[in-house]
Structure 1
Amino acid sequence: MMDSSWTPEQEQLLRDIWPTGESIKRHIKALGDRSYSTIMSHAKKVLKLGSRPKTARGRVAYAWPTIKAELEKHPGTAPELIKRTGLSMAPVCGHLRKANPGPDGAIHIIGWRKRSTGGKPVAIYAIGPGENVPMPEPFSPAEKWKHRCTRRGVGRDPFALAKGHVVAPTTGNGRVYRQSMDVRDDLEVA
């Protein structure tokens, strides 16, 4: 059954575009300004064109070159690479896995960072093949408890930064107040 709102020219254009893998969205105006789903439905159900050929359209391979460029600048963990590249976790972790860390891979593990929460250590990756540093043992229950108590006490300890329990913020967010250390007598009287 042929839909009467479609002209023979529009259907022929759709038949011509379909096997090439070219974007249908570029031709929406020429196809009667219909929605994409309407065009796809007409091609499959009315014209019986079948499925479209698979193309690389929409799957630009920019994730690995971006990750590689960041690793060439400075080694890093997966969470650091996510922040530095702006990519999501799935492509970063997927490409690190595909890069086969080790002597035969494109990257290798140069160290590990233990988590203060006691979870699995995080690998620090560097570009190029090399021997992987073995994963350290996780924290013992006693070490986990010690870290937990330290984290709890940090909020109450005004000297936590000096002791090295916390790291000073490095972002530009928030306000910084500068207190003058000059005490003038005439202001004290007022």
Structure 2
Amino acid sequence: MGGRKWSEQEDAVLREVSESDVTLLSQMHRLPGREWNSAKCRASKLGLALSNHVEWTEEERAVLREIWTSDMSIKVGMKRLPRRGYDAARSEAQRLGISGKRGRTGRIGYAFVKPAIIAALEKESPLRADQLAQITGATVRQIHKTLAAGRSTTFRVDDWSRKSTFGDPTACWALGAAPDAPRPARKPTHVSQKESAARMRVRAGRFNPFATLVSQVAA
């Protein structure tokens, strides 16, 4: 079932907001019982253009200060600001004069990524890029860029693993400046298919070790 129908008076409020310099958020008190997202959607249906600038609330600024001045992952912290993007958060932090390394970016992404990777690999290694992303809260892309920038000086490929039967080998990273472990050759398709079929037979309970032994002897 749909929600409460919008009245002509409510639509008139949205039109007034659209024609002025005020934000929709600041005028929500004129739309009692309505949510900001719902009002925004209604304005869109009416073809009304609203100001893109949404004033920061004191609650949002408090969360922003906590993110920027603590050891919290920015990716995790931004989930507490669902209406804000990273660029908007960084601009607001600069406007408020909030200092902290968490808010700075470098050539290869957020400044916290490299220290976070080092801390993770000191506890456990080797680890794949996707595993490091889960541990640190950074994106896989940020992890890859940071590892590439520090390759052969801070990070090295310690081993290789395959996440699937037909996939290419995936690098497993560790700390160190030693040469990377040799990359294994990609498995031929017919070998991968044969191994996959054998595993399926085992799971289906149709594996006969004696038949396999006979075929090997006959060969």
Q: TM-score, normalised by structure 1?
A: 0.48
Question: Which has more helix, going by share of residues?
Answer: 2
Larger Rg: 1
Q: TM-score, normalised by structure 2?
A: 0.42
